[in-house]
Amino acid sequence: MTRFSLAAQTWQFGQTRRLPFDAPAVDDRAAVARWLPATVPGNVRLDLHANGILPDPPHIGSEWVDAADWWYRVTFPVDVEPGQRVFIRFSGLDYRAAIFVGDDECARHEGMFSWVTVDATDHIRAGMCRLAVRLWGSGALPRRNLSRRQKLWQAIAQRLQNSWTGVYPDRSATLKMQMSFGWDFAPRVLTTGIWDDVTCIITGDTFIESAGIAVTPDGRGTIRMRLNTHSPTDVPLALTVTGDDAPHTFRFTIPPAPPETTRTFRLPAPKLWQPWDAGTPHLYTARLEIPGSDALSVRFGVRSVALENRQFRINHAPTFARGVNWVPADIFPGRITPADYRDLLTRAKACGANFIRVWGGGLREKAAFYDLCDELGLPVWQEFPLACLFLGGAPQSADFLALLRQEIGAIVRQLDAHPSVVVWCGGNEFSPRRNRAVIRTMARAIAENALSSRPFLPASPAPGDAHNWLVWHGKAPLNTFKRERAHFLSEFGLQALPHADTLAAALENPRTGWETIHGDTDKLRHYLRGFLPDEHARPPALGALIEASQQAQAAGLQLAIEHMRRRKPRTGGVWVWQFNEPLPAISWAVLDYFRRPKLAYEGLRNWFNPVLVSVDFPVGKLWRAGEVFSGAVWVVNDTAQAVGGACRVRLDGRDIFTETVTAPAHSSVRVGTFAHRLAHPPVEMTATFGADNAIHSENRYPLHWRDTPPAPWQLIIRRWLADRILR
């Protein structure tokens, strides 16, 4: 019995002509003129590039790829003895596929996120498995016919807020990564390929198709296990749980039918999985073994999660979310590796983030992502793959709802055992009220497939959870963030130019073109103006533009984060839009594609510190000598221990406030106020909290910038309408 990845095998791919997806016979391998080397997991365009057929970057001018269909094939040895069985599992196919073993079609599949497992036992010839996958190019993706009412919405939406609020007949008909249809930080690249792992599983006569583990949060360590097995007879199962000083072993007998069985067992005094800022993210491994037949390991953690009084409670402790929005790390998800995930997630933790929102326009990421979040103690808000439906809606047809149930059910099963996944969310920016059938189907898919219980948020935003785009899209001044009253602020941000080396690398390739990396120049100009050192130096040097745009982004993020944190416990969390980006661009990301940090990333280390010293004062004003500079000083404590020390505020190096304070566990304390007559225009304010030899928190406020004037009323009305549309 063994399980091994097929990534290391010698794969080939080839082009063929379009066939209808519902054609009964689709084996046209003989028509492929040329078979070329391929990489799996990967993507058709990346393979075309690797073979010199598409230039770099392979997404430019490559629409013809979508008009063709594609074959992938591999032949590999399988060492099977009589009575043994062979299965092939695909962890992610993008998007319509037919799977062949030998000459036989074993499965026809639609959907990017569900696993597909085929039984190859009867198709092994002379110890060899001949596997092939036919993939329909993206020109064959389903497309909706819009009703008259939807066409009307479309027309209204175009006027209301360019194309963003429209109805998308292609994108909304699929549960494919929505970003691939084109987004405001990513080009339209309709990926096709085998984007996630392919595994060969050799078993005896019993195959453990899947295993789920859930810990009932009853404090007694009761663990429920669900197994899907294919077995002709009663079989003995040995379960060994490691993670404590000594392993725990349990033995069960699994009946042949039904294929799904549930068992409970008890782990005495289990150690808890904690978010990194609350303790150790302790993990257990359950190894299931049916002697002589199959074995499987599932990692799990013991923790409870609830959403109460506007706060996440993990293991009953309030967990204020200092979060970031995660988008796909590449426009070709096929090439994202575990090392990429490790680097990015380690950097998320390093800047103080304790919550990752996996945005609904992106992916159910690969398994390594969730394994790492488990290990790093990073809670995850996982959205389902729906995004930005605005005035439109998801299809309500029985076929679409069946696809939704299949894909959401699969995502729930795949991620259920991960302690890091603490909340499900239906997706990004659509109205649950106008998509009731979708929400019902999601809730049902969760109930049918989850062993663990977690909160389910139908969509984000929702009442009490805001995406504040008054700033940026609505061109409102940065200090508008201080009027935010929601308890969750799950999106807000500003674009900033990346490091000059990133711009140069993106431009070096003449085919990249500005069209994929341009950002929104109108709004960039609007916000960076108040940060440029000299209004009259025109045109400003590139370095000054980069710096000013990054300062504007940093100032906005700092304002919003500190405002939300000070308002705790009326607030429960704040998620910066956006952490990463899928290609070099001028975007909202705080880490660019090459992972070069923008100024805001460095700032997050202070603003996301579990203990924060914060000053609330009138921002974005150029101060003059003789004016009174006043503000209030706060200490926010997200930890479970009281912290004490001196709070000190300085203006250009001179003390203007000192007070000793103790901030209780999980608190936000207004320490005091100051009013200081200025002798000269100040440049920078700094704040510290702690003792001289142990500073808990430090903070900086540049004072040389001017906020923008009030937003034009047309934009205010547009934003107001857009928010109403999402209800």
Q: Least distance to ligand BMA from the beta carbon of 499, Å?
A: 21
CA distance 211 to 341: 25
CA distance 377 to 270: 17
Question: Which residues partner with 575 through β-bridges?
Answer: 323
The enclosing H or E element of 242 equals strand 235-242
Q: Which is nearer to ligand BMA, 41 or 361 (CB)?
A: 361
Residues 550-579 that bind ligand BMA (CB under 6 A): 577
Q: Least distance to ligand BMA from the beta carbon of 457, Å?
A: 14
Q: Which two tokens stand for residue 596?
A: 């070069």
Closest to 90 measured CA to CA, from 119, 72, 121, 116:
116
Q: Least distance to ligand BMA from the beta carbon of 171, Å?
A: 12
Three-class secondary structure of residue 582 per DSSP: coil
Q: Least distance to ligand BMA from the beta carbon of 48, Å?
A: 28
Using the rule CB under 6 A, is 581 a contact of ligand BMA? no
Residues 448-477 that bind ligand BMA (CB under 6 A): 467
Closest to 638 measured CA to CA, from 546, 547, 572:
572
Residues 479-538 that bind ligand BMA (CB under 6 A): 491
Q: Least distance to ligand BMA from the beta carbon of 359, Å?
A: 6
Q: Which is nearer to ligand BMA, 206 or 490 (CB)?
A: 490
Q: Which is nearer to ligand BMA, 330 or 429 (CB)?
A: 429
Q: Least distance to ligand BMA from the beta carbon of 491, Å?
A: 5
Q: Least distance to ligand BMA from the beta carbon of 177, Å?
A: 13
Amino acid (1-letter code) at residue 636: V
Distance (Å) of CA 600 to CA 254, 477, 495, 552: 54, 18, 11, 9
Q: Which is nearer to ligand BMA, 278 or 585 (CB)?
A: 585
Residues 19 and 13 sit within 8 Å (Cβ to Cβ):
no
Among 333, 361, 645, 690, binds ligand BMA (CB under 6 A): 361
Q: Which is nearer to ligand BMA, 115 or 181 (CB)?
A: 181
Closest to 322 measured CA to CA, from 555, 568, 551, 582:
568
Residues 149-208 that bind ligand BMA (CB under 6 A): 183-185
Residues 162 and 520 sit within 8 Å (Cβ to Cβ):
no
Query: What does the radius of gyration of the chain's CA atoms come to, in whole angstroms?
Result: 27
Amino acid (1-letter code) at residue 505: A
Q: How far is CA 191 from the centre of its chain?
A: 18
Q: Which is nearer to ligand BMA, 320 or 472 (CB)?
A: 472
Sign of CA dihedral 313, 314, 317, 322: negative
Residues 287-326 that bind ligand BMA (CB under 6 A): none
Q: Least distance to ligand BMA from the beta carbon of 186, Å?
A: 8
The enclosing H or E element of 465 equals strand 465-467
Q: Least distance to ligand BMA from the beta carbon of 227, Å?
A: 38
Q: Which is nearer to ligand BMA, 577 or 657 (CB)?
A: 577
Q: Number of residues in contact with ligand BMA, rule: CB under 6 A?
A: 10
Q: How would you classify the pairing of strands 694-702 and 684-691?
A: antiparallel
Q: Which is nearer to ligand BMA, 361 or 597 (CB)?
A: 361
Question: Which residues partner with 318 through β-bridges?
Answer: 313
Using the rule CB under 6 A, is 100 a contact of ligand BMA? no
Closest to 442 measured CA to CA, from 476, 477, 473, 407:
407
Q: Least distance to ligand BMA from the beta carbon of 286, Å?
A: 37
Q: Which is nearer to ligand BMA, 290 or 425 (CB)?
A: 425
Using the rule CB under 6 A, is 428 a contact of ligand BMA? yes
Closest to 404 measured CA to CA, from 108, 111, 92:
111
Among 197, 383, 429, 547, binds ligand BMA (CB under 6 A): 429
Using the rule CB under 6 A, is 388 a contact of ligand BMA? yes
Q: Which two tokens stand for residue 643?
A: 């912290």
Q: Which is nearer to ligand BMA, 62 or 550 (CB)?
A: 550
Q: Which residues bind ligand BMA (CB under 6 A)?
A: 183-185, 361, 388, 428-429, 467, 491, 577
